[in-house]
Amino acid sequence: MKRILVAIFNQEHWHQSVAIDLAISHLKKQDVVTILDYSNLLHRSSHKVYVSNTTKKVFPSSYPILQIVTRLKKEYKNIFSYVDEIPLNLLVSRKNISSKKVYDAVFKDLVSETKSYNPDIKSFEDKFRIKETDFLKLYNFLIKYVDSKFDLVYTYNGRFLYERALWEACLKTKIPIKFHDRFVLGWNDKYWVWESSVHDTKYRAEVVRNFSKSSELYAKNNNKVNHRVEKWVKARENSISQPYTSNQKIGFIRPDGYKYLVSFYTSSEDELIYSNLKSLDWPSQGKTVERLIKLFQKKNIYFVVRVHPNLQHKSESTQIYWSKLKKSVSELDNVKIILPLDKVKSYDLLNSSDVVITSGSTIGLEAVLRGKPMLLLGKSLYDGLDIGVKCKNINDVETKFLKVTSPDFRVNKQDAISYINFLELGGIKFQNGKIDLKTKSINQVLDPNVYFYGNLTTRIPKWVKILNRFFPKNI
């Protein structure tokens, strides 16, 4: 019999559903399970808070997880408990953790909240200090709370402010901690549990390779594997498994007169930073693009930059930067910058490209699966696998470009295929909840309901979210 803690700091229903599923799985084994739910009490992280603690007490129906918890208490009354209060007298902000760790946790949470890869700390000084105080208070409390009381702790992802405080507390007390999350966007009926950081690229590569080795279907039936990969690629291209290209309606026409068409696909820079995927060898993607423009001048290369469509939801300063860069290169005949809201089809560009360059975007993986040479600048979630040709710096790009455009170069697809094989067949299916996949919009497909005990779900009611728009500080 193990003592399990499942900690919730996040009100997004999908992540709460995973927490509930893990809790029930351990309860069925007769483990002693505690759900620690502080998502209503702590409002200073980048997580969206829909229901405050006061609202939850006055209107219990506003927070559906309570109904599931009530059922669990009845069914497992001797081995299950639910905690959603913090003893205020135990919250102290003394600093008994390195300043570097605190700064790293707070800065990355600020990056996540502002959606800016380089937020001006002076402009957010008050917010930064509040986050720092909250982190220290929770960290000090959690050290006392988990020490010698649990054999295993679960929480979501680990990179956000409060989850990071729990992670550091577990490291301090030497309590094992695991992190749950999707392996990639599009995992709607399954999840993964990490024994390391969610963004540990070596661990991810090990998981993928081990799965491929153990998969009998993968080893013996290449036709099914190839069909699975083709299906995954088509779902991406047709905006079925990702929402970013659904409004792109204009085809891309390759210009005449150039030997090579090289495309650069940006990724969300802020996400690279708070996911520990930012490379010290490369500057911001904007500065990288400026260097590539200079490199490709007078080389019979048409260079196209596809700024990620999700950038429209990022900070204003980031959007302004790319707009100014587009304007500054408008007189260059061999350079084209496609902004987030431009409706040029990303996949038309991909199919027309001779070489694809990216800083961690999933489209780099898709390029390899299409047999396109791909240059990878910096880290990515598939960094630990043999996917694409890695470049250390701008001089390395020139060398590797000559390599991938030589007649003898062959694109190695094996690890990319293994990656897709795992995405399609791997993962932990919901064992105790029923998934509602009868949805129409792309957002619902990527974020479906999970039902426990019949019709009980963790999704916050629509009326609560509507009230949030009008009374954001009161709900």
Q: How are beta strands 389-391 and 301-306 bridged, if at all?
A: unpaired
The span from the CA of 174 to the CA of 178, in Å, is 13
What are the start-end ranges of the H helices in 329-413?
346-352, 362-369, 394-404
Strand, coil or helix: 465? helix
CA 276, chain centre distance (Å): 11
Q: Is 231 exposed, middle or buried (0-12, 13-18, 19+ CB in 10 A)?
A: middle
Check residue 475 and give its pLDDT.
46
The span from the CA of 42 to the CA of 48, in Å, is 10
- Beta carbons of 324 and 423 less than 8 angstroms apart: no
DSSP type of residue 89: G
What lies within 8 Å, CB to CB, of 46 at 6+ separation is 109, 110, 112, 113, 160, 161
Strand, coil or helix: 176? coil
Backbone angles phi, psi at 132, to 5 degrees: -60, -45
pTM: 0.90
The span from the CA of 373 to the CA of 370, in Å, is 9
Q: Please choose, from the candidates 251, 247, 245, 284, the residue with its C-alpha nearest in 3D space to the C-alpha of residue 111.
A: 284
Within the chain, which residues score under 50 in pLDDT? 217, 474-475
What is the b/e burial string over 87-105, where b = at least 16 CB atoms within 10 angstroms of the residue's CB? eeeeeeeeeebeeeebeeb
Q: Please choose, from the candidates 385, 340, 327, the residue with its C-alpha nearest in 3D space to the C-alpha of residue 205.
A: 385
Check residue 296 and give its pLDDT.
94
- Beta carbons of 2 and 151 less than 8 angstroms apart: yes
Q: Please choose, from the candidates 474, 467, 460, 471, the residue with its C-alpha nearest in 3D space to the C-alpha of residue 53.
A: 474
Check residue 315 and give its pLDDT.
82
Check residue 474 and give its pLDDT.
45
- Beta carbons of 359 and 285 less than 8 angstroms apart: yes
CB count in 10 Å sphere of residue 208: 22
